[in-house]
Amino acid sequence: MQIMVSTNTSLSFKIIKKSSMLVSPAESTPYEFKYLSDIDDQGGLRAYIPIVYLYPKNPSMEGKDPVNIIRDAIAKALVFYYPLAGRLREFDGGKLVVECTGQGVVFAEADADVMLHQFGDPPYPPFPNMEDLLHMSNHNQIIDRPLLLIQVTRLKCGGFIFACGFSHPMCDGYGFNQFMSAVAELARGASLPSILPVWERHLLSARRPPRVSFTHHEYDVVSHPHPDLDLDQMVERSFFFSPADISALRHSLPPHLRSCSNYDIVAGCAWRCRTIALSPKPDEQIRFLGVSDIRKRMKPPLPVGYYGNVIAFPAAVTTAGELSKKPLEYAVELVRKAKNQATDEYLRSVADLMVTRDRPNFTAANTYLVSDLTHLGLELLDFGWGNAAYGGVAKAINWFPNEVSWYMSYKNKMGEVGTMVPICLSPKSMQLFVKHLQIMMTAARTTSAL
């Protein structure tokens, strides 16, 4: 397990020039109102999510400007994805609707006096000066605002950074990746996307009458509030779990758990160590919320090209004392059981809950919320310059409006592809987290060597 102590945060660079504009669809598009689903417009998703891609110089693209190529491709893609060029409105009962106005998305271009290698080799978050790479103030305000905020920044070395904030009610990570893949295909010369978008948000609207068929602990109302954290006093670290690390943890588990996923193991490990580091009272109730993509479990399957939210957040609930004292297998079992709840019926139950409880937010207190991006292949986005040196979230941790930890696929200098886990804690808690993670890894390696 490698602790990725970022040197990026001390990097300082200047934006030499910057300009912005609205990019509208390249052709006329319908003016209409489109309802979002009751999964799209839940309270916990009402925010922008920042994604960043870093590209090295490609000699075969010499003389070609990524700004012009990407801007033109976005205009072409918005013809197919024209709701993204509109604006969100809120109707009675908090229901979100997109007014397809064709106004367009924010597109900024900039030049920076910095080289790609200064962001790390290979690069990883948190990235410095993110406010210069993507201006995204008031990221929780989504009504009557552009639905995509985009910036292309040319670098001194000939590479560039593509940064984008997308309005989460419009799409989840899979849907955003589908749109960006369309942009990349058009940038490389395609006449239309290989996957055409499908709206059909009524397929995930609440049933009539609503029928909440699960106990959704992810939306519990709890008496103790979410702590008011001073972000300036927090320490951010990324932890790289190599294939060997995950294998050692797997072999430390009982035989019936050794078939579980890498995600189950890493999430259980991080959740347990984080809980110990935060030192809540032993009888305090704590939660793990794992974002689950349910596309492959939908019955009948959703249409190919559906780019709305198809995610749920099933919760694992226990006490701090139980999680801290029991071995890793206890945490892994809880994570796996929660994830396995995420079925077609579970998602429909969430939609029904939204309309019966005024679209509640997630439970924030004592909650570890994880979104796994390892399966998306964000780094494979190719505008013509090849794959990105990095593709993923701009910061290792994000508040949107709850604290979210994003797990990402990452290739280290030795070519090993593993899981990068971001953690954000106070300095004292970070020391405890590192200590207990190292204890757990040492014990796992010892066990697996026997």
Tell me the pLDDT tens digit for each residue of 304-348: 999 999 999 999 999 999 999 999 999 999 999 999 999 999 999
Q: What is the mean pLDDT of residues 137-143?
A: 80
At residue 140, does pLDDT exceed 80?
no
Instruction: Report the alpha-carbon distance of residue 377 to residue 334 in Å, rounded.
Output: 27
pLDDT at 358: 92
CB atoms within 10 A of CB 53: 25
Express each pLDDT in 251-263 by its tens digit: 999 999 999 999 9
Whether domain 229-382+395-449 has CATH 3.30.559.10: yes
Least confident segment among 47-61, 132-146, 188-202, 348-362: 132-146
Same fold, 11-204 and 229-382+395-449: yes
Q: Is 251 annotated as catalytic?
A: no
Q: What is the mean pLDDT of residues 166-193?
A: 97
* pLDDT band at residue 219 using 50, 70 and 90 as cut-offs: very high
User: Strand pairing partners for 371?
Assistant: 406
Amino acid identity for residue 355 in this structure: V
366: phi > 0 → left, psi -120 to 50 → alpha, else beta; which?
left
Q: What is the mean pLDDT of residues 192-211?
A: 97
At residue 87, does pLDDT exceed 90?
yes
What values do phi and psi take at 166, rounded to 5?
A: -115, 145
pLDDT at 397: 63
- The better pLDDT of the pair 63, 395 is held by 63
Q: Of the listed 38, 40, 139, 168, which one is catalytic?
A: 168
Q: Are 54 and 161 in contact (CB under 8 A)?
A: yes
Q: Is 224 annotated as catalytic?
A: no
11-204 CATH fold = Chloramphenicol Acetyltransferase (3.30.559)
Q: Of the listed 72, 132, 220, 382, which one is catalytic?
A: 382
* pLDDT band at residue 93 using 50, 70 and 90 as cut-offs: confident
Q: Where are the domains of the chain?
A: 11-204, 229-382+395-449
**E-assigned strands of 184-228?**
none
Amino acid identity for residue 442 in this structure: T
pLDDT at 129: 79
Q: What is the mean pLDDT of residues 187-196?
A: 97
Q: Mean pLDDT across the chain, nearest whole number? A: 91
Least confident segment among 2-11, 267-276, 280-289, 386-395: 2-11
Express each pLDDT in 390-448 by its tens digit: 999 877 666 555 678 899 998 888 889 999 998 888 899 999 999 999 999 999 998 77
* pLDDT band at residue 9 using 50, 70 and 90 as cut-offs: low
Work out the angle at residue 90's Cα, subtended by the Cα atoms of residues 207 and 172, and round it to the nearest 5 degrees: 65
At residue 15, does pLDDT exceed 90?
no
Q: What is the mean pLDDT of residues 221-249?
A: 80
